[in-house]
Structure 1
Amino acid sequence: MSQAFQEADSLADALLAGLARPIVFVDLETTGSNATEDRITEISVVEASRAGIERWSVLVNPGVPVPPFISRLTGIEDAMLRGQPTFESLAPELAERLHDKIFVAHNACFDCGFLKNEFRRAGIAFRADTLCTVRLSRALFPSVARHGLDALIARLDLAPEGRHRALADADLLWQFWQKIHALYSRDLVDAAIKTLARRASLPAALSEGALDALPSTPGVYLFDGDDDVPLYRQSINLKQRVAAHFSGDHRLAKDLSISLRPSVASKPARRSENWARCCSKQSS
């Protein structure tokens, strides 16, 4: 065995031995980008624990056709999914695999949003302590502009076995995890993770379900206060951006009474993206 492989194995062993909780690196393939309307077609989980590495991957019958452009991207076609288990039939096993483990994904809001909706349709409540590798990459490499998987592959010399299939991409996240621990001290990585892991503090009038229902797609949202002067914002990921307003120790989130309702062109705007209207009033 070459020295490089020996060093990689030694690092992996050290990382696994130091885990306080199991970590699951998760990737999904779906029929589209809308977590409430589209469906999952493939689920892959790479679990890292003190016992070692376990890989689990399954195709899922979404019950709806796979759009041609998605098939061209992933190679997953309708014929491959016929006869495969539905998400509902897989839900109990998957829930057990994810239970009480750190959920790591690239654009974790996307994957977690899809899973929450699928679990809800299956009658199972799903919560996860999530860590987004896009955000972690930005925290560790602040001077770098691009943090997509292809950019990580090129910058960190990761070894993809394929792209746009769930298991290959989940494996890339495990490689990324090993690489950042090779480049940085454990204390530095842990500090970055603790900063990112601060949970959102939602106002009492805004339910987690309402936040989950926001699409992880481009769009415009606004805060409309008592002075009737709206605050407009746009984002490439509505759910992630709106949630960011309530992350960390934002006292404002506790002082506002915020409700959410869908709105389409209720204010002048030349946009065709999804809209979310967040109406806020100061608590009395």
Structure 2
Amino acid sequence: MLKELMHLPEYHWLPDMVILDIETTGGSHLFDRITEIALVRIEGGEIVDTWQSLINPGRSIPMTITHLTGITDEMVKNAPTFAEIAATLYQYLEGVPLAAHNVRFDYGFLKAEYQRIEATLHLRTLCTVRLSRRMFPEHKGHGLDAIIRRHGLTTTARHRAMGDVILVLEYLEKARLALGSVCVIEHIKYLSQGPSLPVGLEQGVVDRIPDSPGVYMFFGETDLPIYIGKSVKLRSRILNHFSSDHSSAKEMRIAQEVKHIEYIQTAGELGALLLESKLIKDRQPIYNRMLRRSRQLQSIRLAETLNQTPWLTYISADQFDPANFDLMYGMFRTKKSAEKVIRQLAIEHQLCPRLLGIESGKGACFAYQLKRCTGVCAGKEPPEIHYLRLTQALISIRLKSWPYKGRIGIREVDKATGKTQVQIFDQWCHIATVDDEIQMDEARQSRFELNFDLDTYKLLAKALKSSLDIIKF
């Protein structure tokens, strides 16, 4: 293969690196596998090694991929598996940055393959797509086909691993002739030092994000966010999204689609959690499926007297009154899930399903006939005793009454930036975020509508178990 590369110019101006390309059975390193690998290793300005191999992916190659690459199942049938070439490949990769066109794709597949054989691959990377964006910002397209057209490159092996490696080498030489070796090397050094980012993001975008508490929003091609998240260390969390070893297909899709990032700093984690929850409900990003769902909440209300039957009724979110939480039990996404819990409690504590409102009719209930009810419906147990046993059974799902006489504020301070915020609550409802004394005075004098939200209730109930700077109004 060294002879086949003799027509290429010398690369005495390039820093040490391995230029690599892979072909695969598809686009997801979580499900697809590598079918071919090729690389050229440059040291001291010379091509010192080349290596290529077909890889048996252990599965059939889709016809669409075969049409694109020309690699067939027959070609890879007797090829080595990745496990069989892993040690050899690592010798070529070790010690120098890995360069590839959209390096996140290639590096992600390589890391996934090494993980499958219980090995870890950790390399510095250089994305030649992002390199093209930096060197030729006046151009729109930076994929390999666009570069071929722009620089007048030719190949007879497009979408074969070594053919694409040679195209990257030729494109780097074209860039040197157009811009000078010093300029190209400066861009390479800048990108090699930073983290591996999606091709749609510039390095400086993430560099400017503080490593402090807050909420971040990922945008794709439109003005609507595709994902909203929070962290006490924004920059670190965002970079974690862009690691090349995504733990899920969703993480990989987010990294592939993101084109723009916005963020909002908060003074602490509670503020970030509250803001994240609100923004997700308001903006409905497609990759925040849990928090963005409509909350058709149900709770169970206990009758205040024995004469009110059934003793348990179901109330929806628009009927919630946090001031009467002492009579409310549980928060459920649906009425069906609430009924399921009550049926289970009835079985465990031998409670009458008729008095609990989960069975209709008169006289002795069916559970009594099965000896699963102690007989309040048949006059065998006093109603007062049965009611008392019901209240005891419900204790495990009882909602907490608001533990304060009125509003409270929870102050958070980011020690690194000095940013201070107070989150104001009343009856488990978040009513305001204030950033200074003027806003605090306005909040003290203002009346707020209480809108109960289950996520806020859970966040606050958990937060109140820890040490907080609480301000009482």
State the TM-score, normalizing by the size of structure 2: 0.44
**In structure 1, how many angstroms separate the alpha carbons of the residues matched to 2:66 and 2:160?**
11
In the TM superposition, 1:166-181 aligns within 5 A as 166-181=161-176
In the TM superposition, 1:129-144 aligns within 5 A as 129-144=124-139
Partner of 1:55, secondary structure, is: strand
Which residue identity lines up with residue 292 of structure 2 in the other structure? K
Q: CA 1:219/1:207 → structure 2, altered by over 3 Å: closer, same or farther?
A: closer
Which residue identity lines up with residue 42 of structure 1 in the other structure? E
**In structure 1, how many angstroms separate the alpha carbons of the residues matched to 2:183 and 2:241?**
34
**In structure 2, how many angstroms separate the alpha carbons of the residues matched to 1:71 and 1:40?**
13
8 A Cα contact 2:103 2:126, kept in partner: yes
Which residue identity lines up with residue 279 of structure 2 in the other structure? P
Partner of 1:215: 252
Q: CA 1:226/1:34 → structure 2, altered by over 3 Å: closer, same or farther?
A: same
Q: Deviations over 1:248-274 (max 9, x none)?
A: xxxxxxxxxxxxxx86565269xxxxx
Q: CA 1:234/1:266 → structure 2, altered by over 3 Å: closer, same or farther?
A: closer
**In structure 2, how many angstroms separate the alpha carbons of the residues matched to 1:19 and 1:193?**
9
8 A Cα contact 2:285 2:292, kept in partner: no
Partner of 2:34: 40
8 A Cα contact 2:114 2:120, kept in partner: yes
| Range moving further from structure 2, 35-44 or 154-163 | 154-163
Q: Deviations over 1:155-214 (max 9, x none)?
A: 112221321111100110111111111111222112222332343389577896994213
Deviation at 1:118, TM superposition (A): 0.5
Deviation at 1:27, TM superposition (A): 0.5
Deviation at 1:95, TM superposition (A): 0.8
Residue 73 (structure 2) aligned to one of 53, 73, 78: 78
8 A Cα contact 2:14 2:185, kept in partner: no
Which residue identity lines up with residue 31 of structure 2 in the other structure? E
Deviation at 1:225, TM superposition (A): 3.8
**In structure 2, how many angstroms separate the alpha carbons of the residues matched to 1:222 and 1:67?**
38
Which residue identity lines up with residue 230 of structure 1 in the other structure? L
Partner of 1:27: 21
Partner of 1:230: 279
In the TM superposition, 1:62-73 aligns within 5 A as 62-73=57-68
Q: Based on CA coordinates, which of the two structures has the bigger radius of gyration?
A: 2
Compute the RMSD of aligned alpha carbons: 3.5
**In structure 2, how many angstroms separate the alpha carbons of the residues matched to 1:76 and 1:146?**
27
**In structure 1, how many angstroms separate the alpha carbons of the residues matched to 2:414 and 2:116?**
34
Q: Deviations over 1:89-134 (max 9, x none)?
A: 1111111110011211011110010101001112221111111111
Q: CA 1:263/1:233 → structure 2, altered by over 3 Å: closer, same or farther?
A: closer
Residue identity (%): 32
Partner of 2:143: 148
In the TM superposition, 1:4-23 aligns within 5 A as 12-13=9-10, 15-16=11-12, 18-21=13-16, 23=17
In the TM superposition, 1:257-276 aligns within 5 A as 264=289, 266-267=291-292
Q: CA 1:222/1:190 → structure 2, altered by over 3 Å: closer, same or farther?
A: closer
Partner of 1:139, secondary structure, is: helix
Q: CA 1:89/1:69 → structure 2, altered by over 3 Å: closer, same or farther?
A: same
Does 2:49 align with 1:54?
yes
Which structure 1 segments of 5+ residues have no match?
A: 1-5, 236-261, 270-281
Which residue identity lines up with residue 117 of structure 1 in the other structure? A
Q: Deviations over 1:30-77 (max 9, x none)?
A: 010011111000001022223435321100001111111111111111
Partner of 2:380: none
Does 2:96 align with 1:101?
yes
Partner of 1:117: 112
8 A Cα contact 2:100 2:126, kept in partner: yes
Partner of 1:254: none
Q: CA 1:218/1:193 → structure 2, altered by over 3 Å: closer, same or farther?
A: closer
State the TM-score, normalizing by the size of structure 1: 0.71
Partner of 2:274, secondary structure, is: coil
Which structure 2 segments of 5+ residues have no match?
A: 1-5, 196-206, 212-232, 264-271, 295-412, 416-473
Does 2:189 align with 1:190?
no
**In structure 2, how many angstroms separate the alpha carbons of the residues matched to 1:233 and 1:44?**
43
**In structure 1, how many angstroms separate the alpha carbons of the residues matched to 2:80 and 2:190?**
38
Which residue identity lines up with residue 38 of structure 2 in the other structure? S
Partner of 2:141, secondary structure, is: coil
8 A Cα contact 1:73 1:164, kept in partner: yes
